A = this chain, B = another copy of it.
């Protein structure tokens, strides 16, 4: 979706952001969603100094990385100075009693956060074999970040990086995750965590063209989120093959032309779909590096009214086709250079949704698939992850009745729907070679949506 189109669809956010509309919304106590800061190449990574909280050597290393990116780094808050971000490094917690000092320091600076600021925590994964005191301290960050995300205003978000055992706060993958969270690429990600191990390399990354020279395929790419993914991967340097059903041929060709990619008309549910994609990729580009499983359909019905055709078609397109294609990709010698698979799941697959037992089954299935495909990708130095979009503004959601749409849109901490580009940016992040240590993650792109679980 173009920026212009998004603006048309969410006129409300524009209206209440300034002048008369802003006054009116304030008087009536209406939600006043912020206009989110989104990434564009060349824009500043964060808008304002970054306060690094924490006294460990990990915190020092993180500060050095931020300095190397040309950012204004503070190790102590300067009274009244507006901050672009707070990075909270808590990589050596051993007991919940140790939370107080750093959290009170961070808290004292929350009021100084600029619009669209970022809070990023860096902590360590709690595992069953930790001593209970350490596991408690480590897991407490989950509650803190999710609560803080609900407290922040004006487009600011709070997210966290969870380090695997043995990984340092300034190792390549955590650094790449931190950059994602600080940047406008994560505009609609709020209250979420990325688990990162130390692998990867940030030394050779061109942060504005991180996918340079990589070959990607995107299914369901003729319109909506799929087209946005194709555009974003191309913008980040990838050569992109866009796939969609023959019926969407014109739209597909237009997306392919726009991004200087190639189009492949294909029904992904046919047995040979994986082989067809591989043939196309190897003939045109010599190999395949990145697979984005975006194609998906909905056939909503209450389970009480469900019929076999609605159930089966959703399962066939949304999960069974991916499983079959992945088998083909994993068997191929052309999908071996830091390969990446990224699947588009859904918050419905995490929390369920009324009228979507079939869709939620398929998307929860995708999550199960991602977790058990990760070891297979790891064998060849690759990763597989999923994104789980919440309410994203598309032509499809534009057809939802006004009141229902307004409620669905506002029922998250950012009080607005996301854009297809927000989903695309997260996928591009996972696709990057700098994200080698990030696998089997399911990242919600939902503005911290209240969908239960």
Contact = CB atoms under 8 A, between A and B. Distances in A.
Interface of A: 95-97, 99-100, 103-104, 106-108, 110-111, 126-151, 191, 302-308, 311-312, 315-316, 319-320, 323, 326, 348-357, 359-369, 371-376, 411-413, 440, 448-453
B99 A360 contact: no
B364 A135 contact: no
Contact of A140 (B97, B100, B128, B362): B362
A144 B320 contact: no
A235 B47 CA distance: 60
Contacts of A357: 103, 107, 143-144, 147-148, 151
A100 B368 contact: no
Contacts of A371: 126, 128, 135, 139
Nearest to A354: B150
A440 to B, nearest CB: 7
B368 A136 contact: yes
For the complex formed by this chain, how many copies does it contain in all?
A: 2
Given A131-B372, A147-B353, A99 B361 contact: yes
A366 B136 contact: yes
A450 B390 CA distance: 14
A358 to B, nearest CB: 8
Given A137-B365, A452-B453, 7 more contacts: A96-B362, A126-B368, A132-B376, A140-B319, A143-B349, A144-B357, A450-B452
A440 B139 CA distance: 14
A106 B372 contact: no
Contact of A135 (B134, B140, B368, B453): B368
Contacts of A413: 452
Contacts of A303: 103, 106-107, 110, 147-148, 151
Given A151-B355, A374-B128, A361 B306 contact: no
A100 B312 contact: yes
11 contacts: A100-B312, A107-B304, A127-B372, A132-B373, A140-B319, A140-B364, A142-B367, A146-B452, A148-B352, A149-B352, A150-B452
A78 to B, nearest CB: 17
Given A136-B319, A365-B139, A151 B304 contact: yes
A449 B362 CA distance: 23
A103 B306 contact: yes
Contacts of A107: 303-306, 357
A85 to B, nearest CB: 15
A45 B130 CA distance: 40
A367 B139 contact: yes
A126 B106 CA distance: 38
Given A96-B319, A308-B104, A319-B140, A369 B132 contact: yes
Given A107-B303, A151-B354, A143 B452 contact: no
A315 B315 CA distance: 46
B449 A323 contact: no
Contacts of A140: 319, 361-362, 364-365, 368
A451 B453 CA distance: 8
Contacts of A143: 348-350, 352, 357, 359-365
Nearest to A315: B96
Contacts of A312: 97, 100
Contacts of A350: 142-143, 453
